[in-house]
Homo-oligomer: A and B are copies of this chain.
Amino acid sequence: MTYFLYVFDLTGVFFFAISGAIAGRKNEMDIFGMFMLALVTAIGGGTLRSLLIGVTPPPVLRDPAYISLAAGATIVSLFAEPLWEKWQRAVSLFDAVGLGVFVCIGIQVAQNQGLAPWACLAMGLVTATFGGVLRDLFRAEVPLIFRKEIYATAALLGGLVYLLGDLLGMLPRYNIPITTV
């Protein structure tokens, strides 16, 4: 994974972790529960992807940055509590950015493993959405992705854009920001 991709990955992880920590707070979890939910939301998608394509151990066990970022996002969420009302829009933005980044990373990792394009697309979607599915499962709710198709549709479109850009020979360097938008 190039340095560029790595920075994007960590950005997505941080944004998803914030979304998980806030969700935990809404369920009246304590700081530990919030951290767990932040971590699961942030790394659930990438970890399932790793298991499915047989690359073990998954990134979260190889690089302490992921757990550290989840811990940091939890603390940020706690201190920023008074700002939450204003954050409603921002949280959706966080989700959207994380989604776009993770779709691209999932596709790229799957491509490196030699999977067919449609399977790479599926891995992009899994990477982008499974963290949120776990977040909702652990709160005993029907996952958002099953109820609001907008997230999945956005991830699917993003993945298609990325694959198209890839086909046209674009460098990931330019492709990822475009897809994220």
Assess whether B30 is in contact with A149, with CB atoms less than 8 Å apart. yes
Copy tally for this chain in the complex stands at 3
The answer to whether B61 touches A152, judged by C-beta atoms less than 8 angstroms apart, is no
Considering the complex, give the chain B residue whose CB is closest to the CB of A141.
B140
Tell me whether A122 and B61 are in contact (CB under 8 A): yes
Contact (Cβ within 8 A) A152 B56: no
Sample of 19 A–B contacts (CB below 8 Å): A24-B146, A27-B142, A29-B146, A32-B152, A33-B145, A33-B149, A36-B146, A52-B58, A53-B56, A54-B57, A57-B119, A61-B122, A61-B123, A64-B116, A138-B143, A139-B142, A140-B140, A140-B141, A140-B142
Query: CA–CA, A37 to B146, complex, Å?
Result: 8
Query: Are A54 and B56 in contact, with the CB atoms below 8 A?
Result: yes
CB distance from A43 to the nearest CB of B (A): 11
Structural contact, B51 and A52, CB atoms closer than 8 A: yes
Q: Is the CB of B32 within 8 A of A149?
A: yes
Residue of B54, B56, B60, B142 near A138 (CB, 8 A) is: B142
Per DSSP, chain A at the interface is helix
Most buried by B among A123, A142, A147: A142
* Interface flags, A55-91, vs B, CB<8A=1, else 0: 0111011101001000000000000000000000000
- Tell me, rounded to whole Å, the shortest Cβ–Cβ distance linking A20 to chain B: 11
The answer for the CA separation of A122 and B141 in the assembled complex, in Å, is 26
Q: Please, what's the 1-or-0 string for A106-146, where 1 marks a CB less than 8 Å from any CB in chain B?
A: 00000001011011001100000000010001111111011
